[in-house]
Structure 1
Amino acid sequence: MLLQHWINDCNIKHVCRPKDPVLPKRLIDLSATKNPGILKLDCSKDRSDSNYAALSHRWGDPNLHREFRLQKDNLSQWQRQLELKKLPKTFRDAVTITRMLGIRYLWIDSLCIVQNSIEDWRAECQKMEEVFSSAYVTLSATCSNGTSDGFLKPHPEEGPKARTYSPINVPTANGRSSRVYICNAIDDFKRDVEEAELSTRGWVFQERALSRRVLHFTDTQMYWECGKGVRCETMMRMYNRKSSFLSDPNFPESMASHYKGMRIIFFENIYEKYSQLSFTYWRDRAVALAGIERRLARVYATRARYGILDHSDRSYLRRSLLWQRAVSDAAPREQHSLPKIEFGAGQEVPSWSWMAVMGAIEYMPVPFDVVDWDASLKWVSESEKREELVGRAKDADGSGNIEGIIWDRPEESERENLRMVIVGTERTYGVGDVSKHYVIVVASIPGPSGVVWERVGVGAVVKEPGWIEGLTWIRVE
């Protein structure tokens, strides 16, 4: 079988297979009973078999999916029995493939995390790095539109994705000929996977990056992706350099050996790509990247949270803060906006993080090695729920119409009582008569204990050398 061949070949020739897997809190046991139609939710701490498959999929319509979620009131029932026939098609397909590969356990987010328990959901979401990096293989339901759609589908019979075979006669050594069949060119990983609807989802970005090996089920064919590239059903092999970090089993350890500029460009590229993705619930934006940020923090020896890196090298934090709304060629900047995300109590994200807003971001084009970063700017954590940015600020010039500022939302330019927090100054700009300062623009709002400052924009302002004098300290939440 082709699937088993790919896995066996990877096991023998590559180093992609997890060595010391950390098993999830709960797994679906596919062999707990003699009846193949009865599954069980295994919550035991000791399991003799450490291999499990993980499913990466779209939920689709939340209302249709609601019946197939682990809840507080069905937890004990599912530990006794879970009927396969009652599961939606995508989940049944995952069971089929997992059994076909000879794997006993399967992890599916909505069946293994208690969906109506905030405590369990938060705890398990923090373990996504372990769940996907420890999986023997990740099954990606790329062609499925939701849990009821399934991903084991017949190949299209018509159109550009249809698979056709053309017979040709090939001469042999004994003077005769042998008939072989040539398949049309159907291998298009970019179209079938990179540009698939599933790849536009925020949670899936992390799942693919953290997985060591992925089986993509598309509407054209299966693709096998591991640290050595991509394999196709047509026996073709390919390697996509632009997205190779997503298939790197040791992501992002390879970046540790690069010079600082490349490491910065690397994490900026990750965050820009991630910011373009969508969510059913936008409040998940900060949570769905926690596993990747944990790895970045470990490899870069820094603090990484909310899409911000705080390294002993002060440029990491300052460059992380200089994000702006992405600007497409189709519309002027004034038509773009980053709406705020409404968070629940205890889930708040600081305003100076792009994870506090919806929409795509990009980073300001700041040159390397010519900027003096303000050493007084600090990221202060008073508690898990209170993160502040402390720095020196200058009053804005009387109104919001400040040249060089890109507003997070166009209406913010009409705010009063604006200040600019100094992030850095470009020392080679001009010949001494003016200076370019990189700043975060903040506005005041009433807080429970006085004035609170929040980010509303970012930019580079050109001022006379003496402009930076007379700064005052402020705290940005």
Structure 2
Amino acid sequence: MICLLPVLSTDHSLLDRDDIPIGFPWNAEDWKREAGRMEDVFASAYCTIAATSAVDSNAGFLARNARTEYMRVQDTTGHQVCKNSPRKNYFLLDPSFPNRLLESGRSRTAEFIHFLFQDYSSRGITEPTDRRVAATGLEARIAGALHCNSKYGIFEKHLHRNLLWQTSDKQTERIAYTNNQEVPSWSWMACGGGIEFMKVAIGTVSWVKALAFDVERDSAALIADVGKFRHYTIEPKGDRCIVLDISTNNEAGWIRYDIESGAEGSENHCVVVGRTENYRVAQRYYILVVVPTGKDGEYRRVGVGKVRTSCVERLGSEVRIV
């Protein structure tokens, strides 16, 4: 397999696609058949060459970072080791990936998964609809190592944390997948552009047990209890919306919509993902903002947020989030 990088400048290009008298090997059927095997193919490679210094597919790849951070360690015999050792590279460069991840503990595992998909989501994939299939092999390998189910980039062992993603690009749109590739609204794969996960320290939140994959009826749905907001107003502020308590006009939390038009057209409901456990301050819910789809007992995600528990009242149980 030969992959040709875009011609960025005369300094960076050895060959242009037009210089090679061979038809471009990929077509729609090839991609459909081979994309899901990418992880198996590259995992078995003896040597993989990558333009690691390029920040994206439009940048040059010969420039090098002038400053490199090193870590110096001295052992008991007095010998010193000085190496460049980025924290995440310990896992990324594991020849038996993700075996090292399994020895790191729950907190480091969750942190690495977030780092990996945040980094992946910011890459310039040529076709937005390839977002899901391009990560399928990586997702399957991690899920196998964790011995858990996974769906659309969300791992069951870290379900609640993985659902608390938010878009990091200002002008994000939902990806128009074809019918046989449909991605649920609760997955970060549903939106184009970069994403980031909310930072929630281990042991600070009580997660809602009623929130789970719908394993019986629909692989693309979540089962959850749904609530509605009460005694509140919403005011835009930067890339978020501030939730204000009507009675006091005090700030009671925030919401961030997945796309700019996410607040339009329907009454906002919410799914509680977890509750903070610091009893010395007002307790808050981590929530998914959802709206009805028009089908009975069915909702779709439009955003994420964190609000005071007093802002939410329960509306129904065992609804489907699609």
TM-score (norm 2): 0.75
Aligned residues: 278
SS of match in other structure, 2:214? strand
Partner in structure 2 of residue 116 of structure 1: 28
Deviation at 1:259, TM superposition (A): 1.3
Deviation at 1:240, TM superposition (A): 4.5
SS of match in other structure, 1:368? coil
Partner in structure 1 of residue 21 of structure 2: 86
Instruction: Give the letter for the 2:164 counterpart.
Output: L
1:79-133 superposed Cα distances (whole Å, 9 cap, x missing partner)? xxxxx96138xxxxxxxxxxxxxxxxxxxxx63x6x232xx53332111111111
Q: Matches of 1:376 and 1:342 in 2, distance apart?
A: 30
Between structures 1 and 2, the one with greater helix share: 1
SS of match in other structure, 1:420? strand
Are the aligned partners of 2:53 and 2:61 in contact in 1 as well (CA < 8 Å)?
no
Q: Does 1:280 align with 2:126?
A: yes
Deviation at 1:382, TM superposition (A): 5.5
Partner in structure 2 of residue 318 of structure 1: 160
SS of match in other structure, 1:138? coil
Q: Matches of 1:430 and 1:411 in 2, distance apart?
A: 36
Are the aligned partners of 2:54 and 2:61 in contact in 1 as well (CA < 8 Å)?
no
SS of match in other structure, 2:220? strand
Q: 1:220 to 1:351 in 2, by over 3 A?
A: closer
Deviation at 1:471, TM superposition (A): 4.0
1:380 to 201, 206, 214: 214
Q: 1:266 to 1:219 in 2, by over 3 A?
A: closer
Are the aligned partners of 1:424 and 1:439 in contact in 2 as well (CA < 8 Å)?
yes
Partner in structure 2 of residue 267 of structure 1: 113
Q: Does 1:395 align with 2:243?
A: no
Instruction: Give the letter for the 1:136 counterpart.
Output: Y
Unaligned runs of 5+ in 1: 1-53, 62-67, 69-83, 89-109, 143-192, 201-216, 222-236, 328-335
Instruction: Give the letter for the 2:293 counterpart.
Output: I
Q: 1:366 to 1:404 in 2, by over 3 A?
A: same
Are the aligned partners of 2:102 and 2:146 in contact in 1 as well (CA < 8 Å)?
yes
Q: 1:135 to 1:55 in 2, by over 3 A?
A: farther
1:256 to 93, 102, 107: 102
CA-based RMSD: 3.1
Q: 1:437 to 1:219 in 2, by over 3 A?
A: closer
Q: Matches of 2:61 and 2:172 in 1, distance apart?
A: 33
Instruction: Give the letter for the 2:192 counterpart.
Output: M
Q: Matches of 2:261 and 2:117 in 1, distance apart?
A: 25
SS of match in other structure, 1:264? helix
Q: Matches of 1:393 and 1:440 in 2, distance apart?
A: 10
Q: Matches of 1:128 and 1:397 in 2, distance apart?
A: 48
Q: Matches of 2:154 and 2:5 in 1, distance apart?
A: 28
Partner in structure 2 of residue 14 of structure 1: none
Instruction: Give the letter for the 1:322 counterpart.
Output: L
Q: 1:60 to 1:337 in 2, by over 3 A?
A: same
Q: Matches of 2:304 and 2:279 in 1, distance apart?
A: 19
Q: Does 1:438 align with 2:272?
A: no
2:40 to 118, 121, 130: 130
Q: Does 1:404 align with 2:254?
A: yes
Q: 1:218 to 1:277 in 2, by over 3 A?
A: closer
Q: 1:123 to 1:400 in 2, by over 3 A?
A: farther
Q: 1:261 to 1:386 in 2, by over 3 A?
A: closer
After TM superposition, list the pairs within 5 Å mapping 1:100-249 onto structure 2. Answer: 111=25, 115-117=27-29, 120-140=30-50, 142=51, 193-198=52-57, 218-219=61-62, 239-242=84-87, 244=89, 245-249=91-95
Unaligned runs of 5+ in 2: 9-16, 65-81, 235-242, 244-252
Deviation at 1:430, TM superposition (A): 4.0
1:348-386 superposed Cα distances (whole Å, 9 cap, x missing partner)? 111000110011111112221121111011111467x85
Q: RCO (CA 8 Å, sep 6+): is it higher in 1 or 2?
A: 2
Q: 1:198 to 1:359 in 2, by over 3 A?
A: closer
Q: Matches of 1:85 and 1:418 in 2, distance apart?
A: 55
Instruction: Give the letter for the 1:131 counterpart.
Output: V
Deviation at 1:281, TM superposition (A): 0.7
Deviates most, 285-294 or 122-131: 122-131
Deviation at 1:242, TM superposition (A): 4.5
Deviation at 1:426, TM superposition (A): 0.9
Are the aligned partners of 1:388 and 1:476 in contact in 2 as well (CA < 8 Å)?
yes
Q: 1:388 to 1:262 in 2, by over 3 A?
A: same
1:289-313 superposed Cα distances (whole Å, 9 cap, x missing partner)? 11211111111111233221112xx
Q: 1:260 to 1:122 in 2, by over 3 A?
A: same
Deviation at 1:451, TM superposition (A): 6.6
Are the aligned partners of 1:400 and 1:418 in contact in 2 as well (CA < 8 Å)?
no
Q: Does 1:58 align with 2:33?
A: no
Q: 1:435 to 1:280 in 2, by over 3 A?
A: same
Are the aligned partners of 1:372 and 1:424 in contact in 2 as well (CA < 8 Å)?
yes
SS of match in other structure, 2:186? coil
Q: Matches of 2:302 and 2:162 in 1, distance apart?
A: 16
Partner in structure 1 of residue 317 of structure 2: 472
TM-score (norm 1): 0.52
